Amino acid sequence: MLEEPVRDELRETLREYTDVRIVLGGFRDDLETWRAARAKSEMLHAQIWSAIERANSPGLSPAILSSLITAANELIDIHEMRLESIKNYLPVSLLLLLLGVAAVATSFLA
Q: Which of 17, 15, 2 is nearest to 78 (CA)?
A: 17
**pLDDT score of 54:** 87
- Residues with Cβ within 8 Å of 48's Cβ and at least 6 positions away in sequence, in order, are 10, 13, 14, 17, 72, 75
pLDDT per residue over 48-92, tens digit each? 999 998 888 888 888 988 999 999 999 999 999 988 887 787 888
At residue 5, does pLDDT exceed 90? no
**pLDDT score of 107:** 93
Does the predicted TM-score (pTM) go above 0.75? no
Q: How many helices (H) and strands (E) does the chain have?
A: 4, 0
**pLDDT score of 25:** 77
Considering only residues 24 and 105, tell me which one the structure prediction assigns the higher pLDDT: 105
